[in-house]
């Protein structure tokens, strides 16, 4: 697993860029896809990716078990475009990705309903509750460090990254 797509929803500071720099230093090929509107995320979920990535990282915010979407002016939305945050219902509607490792850094995007939808055909890792942003970034770095540097499995890397402290302990895995 050496091709990673960072899906950046914006408004997360320099999280996406920091991840990209670290992952490239680990030898990964990294591309970034920016989400400017809900249809952009729907496209990613549908498998319309700029690269054939082994793993996707969602650099985003989450709230109440949903991915926070950019808010557009009413006249800017396309016909039929989702105008709400993406809950497990919207994810289920668009998700066509298969055999991917998906790591979401958004708060509460690891709730049970979201894990069940993503994990049907993928490995999905995300925080079940509201996690400190710095801790989410650290979790991602530690997780991929263990995979790339120490050649550990996904489960071993997850376990090691999760046990750092109470904040990283909020991450859950679904397979």
Can you say whether residue 75 is alpha, beta or left, with left for phi > 0 and alpha for psi between -120 and 50 degrees? alpha
How does pLDDT run across 16-25, given as a tens digit for each residue? 999 999 999 9
The residue segments making up the domain with residue 115 are 3-174
- State the pLDDT at residue 94: 98
pLDDT one-digit tens code per residue, 132-144? 999 999 999 999 9
Domain count, the chain: 1
pLDDT number for residue 1: 66
The mean per-residue pLDDT over the stretch 132-161 comes to 98
Q: Tell me the CA end-to-end span of the chain in Å, nearest whole number.
A: 17
Per-position b or e across 46-83, b if 16+ CB within 10 A of its CB: eeebeeebebbbbbbbbeebbbbbeeeeeeeeeeeebe
Q: What is the CATH number of the domain that holds 57?
A: 3.40.50.1460
CA dist 126 and 94 (Å) reads 19
pLDDT tens digits along 49-90: 999 999 999 999 999 999 999 999 999 999 999 999 999 999
Tokens of 156: 């071993």
Residue 175 is predicted with a pLDDT of 76
Give the predicted TM-score (pTM) of the model: 0.97
């Amino acid at each position: 697993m050496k091709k990673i797509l960072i899906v950046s929803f914006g408004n997360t500071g320099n999280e996406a860029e920091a991840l990209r720099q670290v992952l490239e230093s680990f030898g990964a090929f990294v591309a970034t896809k920016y989400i400017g509107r809900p249809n952009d995320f729907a496209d990613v979920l549908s498998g319309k990716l700029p690269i054939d990535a082994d793993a996707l990282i969602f650099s985003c915010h989450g709230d109440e078990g949903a991915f926070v979407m950019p808010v557009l002016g009413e006249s800017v939305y396309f016909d039929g475009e989702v105008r709400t945050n993406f809950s497990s219902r919207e994810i289920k509607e668009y998700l066509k990705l298969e055999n991917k490792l998906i790591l979401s850094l958004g708060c509460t995007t690891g709730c049970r309903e979201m894990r069940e939808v993503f994990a049907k055909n993928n490995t999905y890792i995300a925080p079940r509750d509201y996690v400190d942003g710095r801790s989410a970034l650290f979790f991602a770095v530690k997780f991929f460090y263990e995979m790339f540097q120490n050649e550990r499995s996904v489960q071993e890397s997850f376990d090691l990254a999760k046990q750092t402290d109470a904040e990283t302990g909020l991450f859950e895995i679904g397979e």
